[in-house]
Amino acid sequence: MGVRKRNTAERIKAERKEIAFAKLTNIPSSPRKMRLVADMVRGVEVFRALGILKFSNKEAAAKLEKLLRSAIANWEAKNERKAENGELCVSTIYVNCAPMLKRLRPAPQGRGYRIRKRANHVTLVVDTIENAKKKA
């Protein structure tokens, strides 16, 4: 590996040291329902976001809460220390469509209505608050 390539790789690795992410794939709910919950926690401090998700009455909130706990654990494993209150925030969260299951439902007069069973993928990135402010 050349010197320039090695220096670039080391710089990228140092930048990624502060960031931790978690992915949840093929969640059997529509992306629109998941985005409603994801919008509630975007840019919020992680322990406050956990409180928001815990007391939300949406089904998607429980899945996002578990994903957020996983991202926090990933950050703690990378940095070899516990996350303190007011240190981390949800810097990025996005919901993408997963492949749809297409089914047919019997309809009157010999027809069939198509049912689209939607699913989604969620990616959640946790970063320190100082780094998130620098990027914004």
Model's pTM, two decimal places?
0.85
Residue 15, both tokens = 């930048």
Does any domain span residue 15? no
In a domain, 78, yes or no: yes
Has residue 136 got a pLDDT over 70?
no
Whether 16 is covered by a domain: the verdict is no
Q: Quote the pLDDT of residue 19.
A: 80
Q: Is residue 101 part of a domain?
A: yes
How many structural domains is the chain composed of?
1
Structural domain span for residue 103: 21-135
Q: Tell whether the torsion through CA atoms of 52, 66, 84 and 127 is positive or negative.
A: negative
- Could you tell me if residue 8 is inside a domain? no
Residues 38 and 30: beta-carbon distance below 8 Å: no
For range 22-32, the mean pLDDT: 96
* CATH code of the domain covering residue 76: 3.90.470.10
**96 has pLDDT over 80:** yes
Give 56-88 pLDDT, tens digit per residue: 999 999 999 999 999 999 999 988 889 888 889
CA atoms within 13 A of residue 103's CA, in its CB half-sphere: 7
What does DSSP assign to residue 45?
Answer: B
